[in-house]
Chains A and B, each alone.
Chain A
Amino acid sequence: MDALDKLKSDWKKSEINYPRFSEKDIYAMLHKRSSSIVKWILILSIIEFAFWLGISFLLRDSPQSQHVNNFEAGYIVRILDYVNYVIVIVFVSIFYGNYRKIKVTDNAQVLMRNILKTKRAVTNYIITVLVYYFIGFAVLFTLYFLYDPQLVNTIHVYEENGDIMWFYCIYIGIALLITGIILGGFWLFYKLLYGLLLKRLHRNYEELKKLDL
């Protein structure tokens, strides 16, 4: 008799010793809040979508943005705006489609895969948004360079003094530094947040996948 068979005989015998919850206890449990990771992923995702949408509204209504809109090539900013809405609609649809596929009655591997796919849709959204902002800021900087009367004047002054390379270096250096800090900050935040939330799920999914090789 191996260890598990020995355990099996006790497993059945000890059944009578489990605590028993009454129907009233179970009723009470039904109405408690779930703390499942799927619920957490949903909450975090909604916050993320709302956050980035909020940022885009703030940027659109900012005085700087209105200023750029008045440039000759201001239509480019409006195109970027539409692109942003398309990105949001596409990713919310993908996210929702994946979320609906999560069924606790599926087998464990499929369930885990669907949860990870749902989360991946949000990660891909964030990556896309960050790339979008990177391109967006690059476009804005260029528009400023080309059309902002004040900046064009300043450039002229530097050009006359022969310091124009120096000026470009500082301007681009500051832009890269700010972008780097923002991107790095987000990357760290994501690693921590989802790392903590999904560590166990990842481990179990890898274990199941390893079994299936």
Chain B
Amino acid sequence: MDSALEQSFVQQLQENQNLIHKICRLYTNSEDAHKDLFQEITIQLWKAFPQFRGDSKFTTWAYRVGLNTAITLYRKKSRTVNTVEFDSSLHRINQEEYNYEEEEHIKLLYQAVQQLNDIEKALVFMYLEDKDYNEIAETLGISEVNARVKMNRIKGKLKKILNP
């Protein structure tokens, strides 16, 4: 493929890679799986890149491809090489900013989100990313009303997981 196109893609992805990391964070729980999903999303983005016309933002476009890869295309590897909890390693560096109790609570919240199903995680992800319901509904292919109803149910479900 065209190397200028490749360069433009790599540059944009490198600058906006955090959004892919965030998807990987919700859908994987080990460092290996995180990298594996990141790689698959990168490949899918690259395959779709020639059709990306730039009439929407790179990030808006990448959100959709990334989420679609995570919930539809990605085949989890059956072997789990590394089972180290990735989330805790992400938090370690920022430890001094939190007091212990709050950090524990945040950790529990992440664990609760990990228990949700793939579609619920997609909704949570877009909610955390401040997406409006119109965009959430359009990304998943459901109505806006149903997206709102589901979001409220997820909040209830999380509450139940946290306070059984």
Contact = CB atoms under 8 A, between A and B. Distances in A.
Interface of A: 2-4, 6-8, 10-11, 13-23, 26-27, 29-30, 32-38, 40, 103-112, 115, 197, 200-201, 203-204, 207-208, 211-212
Given A29-B43, A204-B119, A115 B72 contact: yes
A15 B16 CA distance: 12
16 contacts: A2-B155, A4-B127, A8-B127, A11-B128, A14-B91, A29-B38, A36-B43, A36-B69, A36-B75, A103-B48, A105-B64, A107-B138, A107-B141, A111-B72, A197-B75, A207-B117
Nearest to A15: B18
A211 B46 CA distance: 31
A132 B146 CA distance: 45
B21 A8 contact: no
B33 interface: no
Interface of B: 6, 9-11, 13-14, 17-18, 21-22, 25, 34, 38-40, 42-44, 46-48, 51, 61, 64-65, 67-69, 71-77, 90-91, 93-94, 97, 105-106, 109-110, 112-113, 117-119, 122, 124, 127-128, 130, 138-143, 146-147, 150, 154-155, 158-159, 162
A38 B48 contact: no
Contacts of B158: 3-4
B89 to A, nearest CB: 9
Given A23-B14, A207-B117, A36 B139 contact: no
Contact of B65 (A17, A105, A208): A105
B38 to A, nearest CB: 7
B61 to A, nearest CB: 7
Contact of B43 (A3, A10, A34): A34
B118 A204 contact: yes
A17 B90 contact: yes
A10 B106 contact: yes
Contacts of B18: 15, 18
B140 to A, nearest CB: 5
A32 B43 contact: yes
A34 B91 contact: no
Among B47, B106, B130, B154, the one with the most A-chain Cβ atoms within 10 Å of its Cβ is: B106
B116 to A, nearest CB: 11
Among A14, A35, A106, A108, the one with the most B-chain Cβ atoms within 10 Å of its Cβ is: A108
Contacts of B68: 104-106, 108, 111
Given A7-B110, A211-B150, 5 more contacts: A21-B14, A26-B17, A34-B47, A108-B122, A111-B68
A179 to B, nearest CB: 34
